[in-house]
Structure 1
Amino acid sequence: MPDQKRPYPILFIHGLWIHASAWRDWQDHFQELGYETSAPGWPGDGDSVESTRENPETLNDVGISLICRHYADIIDGMPVKPIVVGHSFGGLIAQELLANGYATAAVAIDPAPVKGVKILPFSQLRSGLPVLGNPANKKRTVALTRDQFRYSFGNMLTPEESDALFEKWTIPGPGRPLFEDATAAFVRNSPAAVDTHDAVRGPLLLVSGTDDHVVPLKVTEAVVKLYADNSSRTDFTTVDGRGHSLTMDAGWTDVAALAVDWIRQREQEMTASAVS
């Protein structure tokens, strides 16, 4: 039996190489707690893992700006601005939506770095090489191999669990977002830029797995520092011993519980503020 209806819907945004349906367990969990949820895919995604794998060319040349506009248009059609929960590149998109007034609050889990982060750990570089290693991939869609997925997403899992997640949820991903993020420091109006300093926005929670290869802890810590002079609320927490698969592996409920607790606290504060 679901809890009473919550005041804000939850919109989930997936990251590169993972289909939106990987949020299904999160949606069920949040719906049981009284939340309306949605998990729309990126522009070009198929309705299922299988259909996206069969037609990867529909994601060719899809970049950050197009993805942001896609979700902004979806939110424009919603009666209430949602709380956005994003993973990986979805976490970067969540921050852009929040900074631009499209979200009430946001949870960014192992988020792709925003413009201004100047460090590039080796594991992050290695994780991006399947795309960044060939400049022609900027306009193409690229699929990970099983071994590449194990290194990037499944490094804290058994090979068996990593391979099972690979088979269940992975899809080819457009190369453009990775190139745009990697070159953000050299592009004046980079689509990976987020107003971390002056945006008046709702609360933001940044979450990092301590053993993430794709977005290492020190990268998310650098993002937190970019928000240091922003007067809007920014919180940060870590999940020990977890890699980039933390939203969909066997321990996903621990991460979901963190998100739920934070969201409910912020809901209470926003309700109290509105009453006063």
Structure 2
Amino acid sequence: MDKESNGKPAVILIHGMWSNQDTLRDVKEAFVDQGYTAESLCLPYHFPKAEHTEASRAKLARTRVQDYVAFIVEQVKRLDSPPILVGHSMGALLAQLVAAQVPCDRLILLSSAPPAGINGLSWSAIRTLGRNLLRFPLWTSVTEVALANVEYGIANAQTSSVQKDIYESCTYESGMATFQISIGSLLGSRSATHVNTRSIECPVLIVGGTADRITPINIQRSIAQRFGKQASLVEIENCCHWTVGGAYFPEVRSRIFKWLQGH
């Protein structure tokens, strides 16, 4: 997957927690419709729940943020030219960590999880994570979400049918990665989620919903401040965390390609 003859860079899509490559199908279709070659990655051990075994859950539970980043970096290195990285939620944080290691054409961050140093433990985020935060030790467990978590904090601005579809497609997540992202704000530059923005030279688009409860809009504003003039921030009014499909995706899609045309 290399740069097309039309000059458009390849696109790599990175999903978030409790998700897999199918989560970003609407995003992938949008890029393909615009003439891009797009690949949606599946992070290690992010199988559907029904395909998991006790052994695979144990491996996932201990998978670190660094392991996810290393996996994505290898995919980027296969290309002949820097790609556009598009990430959602945890995937947007991973995209930043990857772009600090290897050159990228552009970064598109949808409802990004907070890098180290930005407090992500708001009451609404804690409520969305729910019982996962009571698991001990969290770094040796898998985490998962219930329908109530999706309805409250992930897709609160979506219809009940969309909420149900999201829940039914959710899988397990690494407790270790959940732990690393949750405590990142306390560790600063020592954290695995610390993003060295000075190492990222490409333009950055940050998209967030004003009704997002798990990665609230203040997190997106703080990320934009870190990148300074390098970043463009788009705030989608009344949109929740689910910026990759559902009711608000047409506006998200429009703003993405308007920005790409200008860069």
Give me the TM-score of the superposition, normalised by structure 1. Answer: 0.85
Give the alignment's Cα RMSD to 1 decimal.
Answer: 2.2
State the partner residue of 2:72: 71
Q: Secondary structure at the match of 2:196?
A: coil
State the partner residue of 2:208: 208
Gaps of 5+ in 1: 267-276
Gaps of 5+ in 2: none
* Kept after mapping to 1: 8 A contact 2:11/2:38: yes
Corresponding residue to 1:257 among 244, 254, 259: 254
State the partner residue of 2:179: 179
Structure 1 range deviating more: 27-36 or 152-161: 152-161
Structure 1 range deviating more: 115-124 or 3-12: 3-12
State the partner residue of 1:222: 222
State the partner residue of 1:247: 244
* Kept after mapping to 2: 8 A contact 1:98/1:104: no
Q: Secondary structure at the match of 1:135?
A: coil
Q: Distance in 2 between matches of 1:245 and 1:44?
A: 22
Q: Which amino acid aligns with 2:230?
A: R
Cα-to-partner distance string for 1:29-56 (whole Å, 9 max, x where unaligned):
211211011011111223x575359954
State the partner residue of 2:28: 27
* Kept after mapping to 2: 8 A contact 1:101/1:201: no
Q: Which amino acid aligns with 1:59?
A: L
- Give 1:45-124 correspondences, 5 Å limit: 45-46=46-47, 50-51=50-51, 56-118=57-119, 120-124=121-125
Q: Distance in 1 between matches of 2:230 and 2:94?
A: 18
State the partner residue of 1:271: none
In the TM superposition, residue 214 of structure 1 has moved relative to its aligned partner by 0.7
* Kept after mapping to 1: 8 A contact 2:135/2:141: no
In the TM superposition, residue 183 of structure 1 has moved relative to its aligned partner by 1.6
Q: Which amino acid aligns with 2:184?
A: A
Query: Identity percentage over the alignment?
Result: 19
In the TM superposition, residue 133 of structure 1 has moved relative to its aligned partner by 2.1
In the TM superposition, residue 6 of structure 1 has moved relative to its aligned partner by 4.3
Q: Distance in 2 between matches of 1:155 and 1:125?
A: 15
Q: Distance in 1 between matches of 2:214 and 2:171?
A: 17
Give me the TM-score of the superposition, normalised by structure 2. Answer: 0.89
State the partner residue of 2:8: 7
